[in-house]
Amino acid sequence: IFVGKKIKRSKWNLPPNPPQYPIIGNLHQVGGLPHTDCCTRPKLVGSRLISRGFKDIGFTQYTLIISLCNLLAKKLPESSVEQSPVDLSKTLFCLTTSILFRVAFGESFHESKIIDQEKIDELVFEGETALASFAFSDFFPIAGVGWLFDLLSGQRKRLNDVYLKLDVLFQHMIDDHLSPQRSKDHYDIIDLMLKVIHKQGKDDSLRFTVDHIKGVLANIFLAGIDTGAITMIWTMTELARNMEVMKKFQEEICDRLGNSKERITEEDIGKFPHLYLVIKETFRLHPTVPLLLPRETMAHIKVQGYDIPPKRRILVNAWAIGRDPKLWINPEEFNPDRFIDSPVGYKGQDFGLLPFGSGRRICPGMAMGMATVELVLLNLLYFFDWKLPDGMTDRDIDIEEAGTLTVVKKVPLKLVPVLHSLVTPNSSFRK
């Protein structure tokens, strides 16, 4: 087998790779934070289950963010009065979940009886881990060997458990949308997909089913919630480590919005060039999905003279590209000004900065993701100054990473909000 493999290999000019062991190849190097050490998506056991047999699609919709920012605004003034630190990691996660539930699923996350609000981040994490995880059956599909290993190692049970938890949640949402008591004043993606099912003819070649709806819900739930929260957490982390950058940005906001605005709305988005510099610099150092989503070659391709055979898994290390000294001066330094007069954007046209991926499989939720991030950061920085908890200096802020598909700040970010002295006392944020 090995000789055969060697002969077959010599046909191709394969890219260089780390040393491999027989049989397991490079499997022993997979794990930890792989990003630190063309295509279709590869069909793995975990992703097959969570996407309900790949019946998912990329989708996005955007509205109703404003009312949810008010929710954030209720919590922070309390901590501001008490001068106590806020767990921004938890708060921002909760906020993006609320936005997504309202926008995409027509559900109020805070009023929902079926969702354990304290554990929603765990569920997203478990779902993402299932999507990203390797099962033995992926590598040893023959004669049930992999299946047996998955059974013994508990991987099969782990995958099934998370599948069932998500299934209960999605079924509840669908039932809720089918209920005759449901208010007709909100029309969302679930209504739209139910309508498609209802209207399709018996002879339609592509039959849309409830499984397709659940596949799409899984997409939105797993891809749409923590990505925005993680981007905001890293941005606030870097701003807290670089207070002079935060001040400069706050001055820009106040210059443009004045100091008596009661609410930041959708109309205020897109007016702050400095905010884009800050977000782009955060994306460069902390891409939320550091290896993007895995791709699989559908045919033999050539990349820079190297052969990539068909059906090969391809990971693009956006994290390493963002820190490549050949592309960036002082790559480890957080310096948003590097993007002044730079044509490098975040929308996938520049391969040096790929926070949303690129090409056909680029993130379909980019517009919604950016709008959410922008609006929340504007609110955080217009209405509040931010201090480090007593006894802490910027050097004490930990930037260790954790995660699988998405990479979050391992230690939650805790900062003290101080209601901005320039904001009028009548602001709705104080009520």
Cα-atom radius of gyration of the chain, to the nearest Å?
A: 23
The answer to whether residues 329 and 335 touch, using CB atoms and an 8 Å cutoff, is no
Pick 124 or 423: Cβ nearer ligand HEM: 124
Pick 41 or 263: Cβ nearer ligand HEM: 41
For residue 207, the minimal CB distance to ligand HEM (Å) is: 22
Closest-CA residue to 105 (of 94, 97, 95):
97
For residue 334, the minimal CB distance to ligand HEM (Å) is: 18
For residue 21, the minimal CB distance to ligand HEM (Å) is: 29
**Which residues are at the interface with ligand HEM (CB under 6 A)?**
41, 58, 60, 104, 219-220, 223-224, 227-228, 231, 288-289, 292-293, 355-358, 361-365, 368-369, 373
For residue 408, the minimal CB distance to ligand HEM (Å) is: 12
| DSSP string over 163-228 | HHHHHHHHHHHHHHHH-TTS-TT---HHHHHHHHHHH--TT-SS---HHHHHHHHHHHHHHHSHHH
The answer to whether residues 134 and 30 touch, using CB atoms and an 8 Å cutoff, is yes
Pick 240 or 353: Cβ nearer ligand HEM: 353
For residue 381, the minimal CB distance to ligand HEM (Å) is: 17
> 């765990």: which residue's tokens?
122
Phi-psi map region of 253: left, alpha, beta (phi>0 left; psi -120 to 50 alpha): alpha
Pick 289 or 423: Cβ nearer ligand HEM: 289
Pick 408 or 423: Cβ nearer ligand HEM: 408
Pick 41 or 387: Cβ nearer ligand HEM: 41
For residue 316, the minimal CB distance to ligand HEM (Å) is: 7
Q: Alpha-carbon distance 237 to 245, whole Å?
A: 12
The answer to whether residues 162 and 132 touch, using CB atoms and an 8 Å cutoff, is no
Q: What angle do CA 225, 227, 232 make, to 5 degrees?
A: 105
Pick 362 or 418: Cβ nearer ligand HEM: 362
Q: Alpha-carbon distance 110 to 94, whole Å?
A: 9
| DSSP string over 222-271 | HHHSHHHHHHHHHHHHHHHH-HHHHHHHHHHHHHHH-S--S---GGGTT-
Pick 35 or 420: Cβ nearer ligand HEM: 35
For residue 88, the minimal CB distance to ligand HEM (Å) is: 16
The answer to whether residues 342 and 284 touch, using CB atoms and an 8 Å cutoff, is no
For residue 143, give every residue at least 6 positions away whose Cβ sits within 8 Å of its Cβ, in sequence order, or none: none
For residue 174, the minimal CB distance to ligand HEM (Å) is: 18
The answer to whether residues 106 and 177 touch, using CB atoms and an 8 Å cutoff, is yes
> 């702050």: which residue's tokens?
272
